[in-house]
Amino acid sequence: MNKHVFALIVSIALASTAFAQTTVTEPWARATVPQQTSGGVYLQLRSPDAARLVKATSPAARSVEIHTMEMNGQMMKMREVDAIDLPAGQSVGNFHIMLMGLKQQLKEGQSVPLSLTIERKGGKRETVMVDAPVKPIGFTPGHH
Ligand SMILES: [Cu+2]
């Protein structure tokens, strides 16, 4: 097959899958203090069809976990989970990405690259790249 024709087919394939893509809103990472070995990245995911976030990786940390947060009395508890369900068309943000074994301090003005693996029906996988800007320790989304 002619190379140009092949390139065209690839670009059409990419264009058609673009419709079924997961969107990321407001990603951010919390700045860390010098001795801190872990950090959190917060974001919202929205998938057009039912999917699951099954994996996260980042070159900024030795290992990366997916955590949910829940209130236990007055205490916010974090729990590692295997996956986060993304119901069709819903914005999901009740989780965070935990960076374990940070390679360096996260400072405001930097950003943390993340690669998220989204799994769809039939085991089809999509990789979503995220660049999360580092916000000050006291940052709360929506309050500037
Ligand atoms: Cu956590």
CATH number at residue 72: 2.60.40.1890
Distance 97 CA to ligand 1 centre (A): 7
Sign of the CA dihedral running 113, 119, 42, 75: negative
End-to-end, the C-alpha distance of the chain in Å comes to: 55
**What distance in angstroms lies between residue 55's CA and the mean position of ligand 1's atoms?**
14
Amino acid at 19: F
User: Tell me, what's the pLDDT at 2?
Assistant: 62
pLDDT on residue 140 = 84
How many structural domains comprise the chain?
1
Note the Cα 132 to chain centre separation in Å.
9
| Residue from 56, 22, 75 nearest 67 by CA | 56
Residue-wise pLDDT for 87-143, tens only, equals: 999 999 999 999 999 999 999 999 999 999 999 988 999 999 999 999 999 898 875
Is 100 part of a structural domain of the chain? yes
